[in-house]
Structure 1
Amino acid sequence: PDHPTVTTPGAPTGKVAFEVTRSKGFEGMAMSPDKTKLYAMLEGPLVGADGAKEADAGVDYLRVLEFDIPSRQWTGKFWKYPLAAAGNAIGDFNMIDATSALVIERDSQEGTKSAACAGKAEPGCFDKPAQFKRVYKVEFSPETAGQAMRKVGYIDLMAMKDPDGKAKQGTTAGVLDFPFFTIENVVVVDPTHIVVGNDNNLPYSAGRAPQKADDNEFVLLEVGELLKAK
């Protein structure tokens, strides 16, 4: 952990008391439609003194903390975002309305499956291509504080329909994928559309082609059914 109040011991076997692991602090922050609350979501689960991650019934979860803007104080309320798989992380978190939001949940792999290695790992293919990239719609309210957010539905960013080939790149046989390590933007445009974007970590991320720096891509998606889903 990188924090001025955390002192590391002088012996390699010594333990350090902390709850947030490196690079697993605040990642997504949503604002309530009335602009009175912020909801800050951690990128990874908190850990206990024994090193175990926070989980409910074996399912790792991320905390979402509520901040009151007028008083400039944390309210003490929080919700649990259940991860679909251990080791997943979130990329962005934005509200749809007062009680529902969109969350990008992803694995930590990159690379399109169409360029996956057939056998031995080689420079010209992806040894471990991306598998899990989704945008979830979740539901929560003041009455459910302390409980798990309800996952209403999701869209699979690895299998987006593009029958007319509108995407500038990445469409194969009418299907567009988004095989990037860090997909970090989701915004509601109108009642039926959202925009999703990636961070290319220039020059380090390579998801479209092996050993070739990615572009920053933005995709406009028609997802009216997801936005209306209850």
Structure 2
Amino acid sequence: MENLRRIGVGVGLGVLTLAIAAPSASAHGTFGQATLTGWAALPARTFVSASDPSGSLLGGTPSNGVTPPFDDQPIQGFSGIVRNGDGTFEVLSDNGYGNKANSADFVLRIHRVAPDYGKKTVDVVGGINLTDPNSFVPFPLTRADRVLTGSDFDVESIQRATDGSYWIGDEFGPYLLHFDRAGRLLQAPIPLPDVRAPENPLGNPNLNSSKGFEGLAQSPDGRKLYALLEGVVAGDPAGALRFNEFDTVRQQYTGKRYVYQLEDPGYAIGDAIAVDEDRFLVIERDNGQGATAVFKRIYLADKRDRNRDGKMDKTLVADLMNLADPRHLGGASNVFTFPFQTIEDVVILDDRTLGVVNDNNFPFSNGRTPGQPDNNEFITIRLTDSLHADKRFLH
């Protein structure tokens, strides 16, 4: 989630499936128009039952018709997704309300959700809180019980290892965080060498706030992670984002990094996942919503850099503002748009189908309907060609 913005409200859920074309060496080649094949939504006003109160630091100011504080924890802000293989997904809520100062009573959590595209609904079927019971975090936490909150970390990306543990990318360090399958931190947060956000307790930041690890990809064998910064490190070229390689066996960065070049320095990335050893799907977006949303796209990025320009090769696979909708799954129009400010989840469903989910920034975003909080929408889209993904990602 971006820093708290003066914008509308929304929570909801929708999944998108899309098909992806074969790899291309072209920096700006394109696939054909992707097609919407499924739509479901989780209502904005969905909360964890019998949980702790939340939103007390928002000042009681209404936003998009929603007035904080809340009696329970909102189920919102989905910033990462993992496929379970049984039709359900693990989705990661980010830091809560946009920044460290206003999110101390938002509990960091992984939710298990089950979209039903026939009914166009999403059920929340479980979840775990993220905790640090063994005191691996070296700085003071918000809660004495060591349940992690949005004032401790801004979790924005997630991968599940073969042993069932979770690797999560944070923006406040930026750190890599390793949790067991019950959400308990397994080791001290792992910092990115020579890069610090303003929230990092060591000071001397060279990265803007809310610009840490927005994307986290895992190699097919699970031995490498690739952590993509959302923002540019001070001194790097405009729009050039560092994609950092981490060895999960040696538990250290390898020193290898790649450059993902934004189409415009004012854009941002929303997620990054692996397709095979060399290629990744990356969501790239502008900062608009609703009528001002123009650029919301998914690229296939290749770290082999075949044109030798020092940047990952990019191929456009889906324009989320221009999806064919011949069955009118998302409305009366033949064209479906995904006009949300933040779109932070992409997952491979099969070799030509992707799932995509927005981050609704509850209660602040209103990209779908002005004055109403966005739902978290789950959409599925089909691409015009196959991804030719590593088969280990297709199970």
Corresponding position of 1:2? 199
2:209 pairs with 1:22: yes
CA distance in 1, matches of 2:218, 2:306: 18
Instruction: For residue 165 of structure 1, report the CA deviation from its aligned partner.
Output: 0.2
Corresponding position of 1:181? 341
Aligned partner of 1:2: which letter? E
- 1:1-230 to structure 2, matched below 5 A, reads 1-6=198-203, 17-48=204-235, 54-55=236-237, 60-111=239-290, 113=291, 129-141=292-304, 147-167=310-330, 171=331, 173-225=333-385, 227-228=387-388
Preserved contact between residue 205 and residue 214 of structure 1 (Cα < 8 Å): yes
CA distance in 1, matches of 2:322, 2:336: 6
Instruction: For residue 214 of structure 1, report the CA deviation from its aligned partner.
Output: 0.6
Show structure 1 runs of 4+ deviating over 6 A: 142-146
Preserved contact between residue 42 and residue 64 of structure 1 (Cα < 8 Å): yes
Preserved contact between residue 351 and residue 386 of structure 2 (Cα < 8 Å): no
Q: CA RMSD in A?
A: 2.2
Instruction: For residue 33 of structure 1, report the CA deviation from its aligned partner.
Output: 0.5
> What TM-score does the superposition give when structure 1 sets the normalisation length?
0.78
- Match of 1:225, SS state, is coil
Structure 1 residues 163 and 98: alpha-carbon distance in aligned structure 2, compared to 1, 3 A threshold: same
Gaps of at least 5 residues in structure 1 are 7-16, 49-53, 114-128
CA distance in 1, matches of 2:227, 2:307: 16
Instruction: For residue 228 of structure 1, report the CA deviation from its aligned partner.
Output: 4.8
Aligned partner of 1:189: which letter? L
Higher relative contact order (CA 8 A, sep 6+): 2
Aligned partner of 1:20: which letter? L
> What TM-score does the superposition give when structure 2 sets the normalisation length?
0.46
CA distance in 1, matches of 2:301, 2:270: 14
Preserved contact between residue 193 and residue 224 of structure 1 (Cα < 8 Å): no
Structure 1 residues 200 and 106: alpha-carbon distance in aligned structure 2, compared to 1, 3 A threshold: same
Aligned partner of 2:320: which letter? L
Instruction: For residue 154 of structure 1, report the CA deviation from its aligned partner.
Output: 2.8
Preserved contact between residue 154 and residue 226 of structure 1 (Cα < 8 Å): no
Per-residue CA deviations over 1:27-60 (Å, capped at 9, x if unaligned) read 1000000100000000011113xxxxx22xxx52
CA distance in 1, matches of 2:381, 2:306: 32
Which is further off, 196-205 or 62-71? 196-205
Corresponding position of 1:124? none
- Match of 1:217, SS state, is strand
Preserved contact between residue 270 and residue 342 of structure 2 (Cα < 8 Å): yes
Identity %: 43
CA distance in 2, matches of 1:208, 1:100: 31
Instruction: For residue 173 of structure 1, report the CA deviation from its aligned partner.
Output: 2.5
Instruction: For residue 226 of structure 1, report the CA deviation from its aligned partner.
Output: 6.0
| Matched residue count | 192
Gaps of at least 5 residues in structure 2 are 1-197, 390-395
- Match of 1:108, SS state, is coil
Per-residue CA deviations over 1:116-140 (Å, capped at 9, x if unaligned) read xxxxxxxxxxxxx111100111111
Preserved contact between residue 212 and residue 230 of structure 2 (Cα < 8 Å): yes
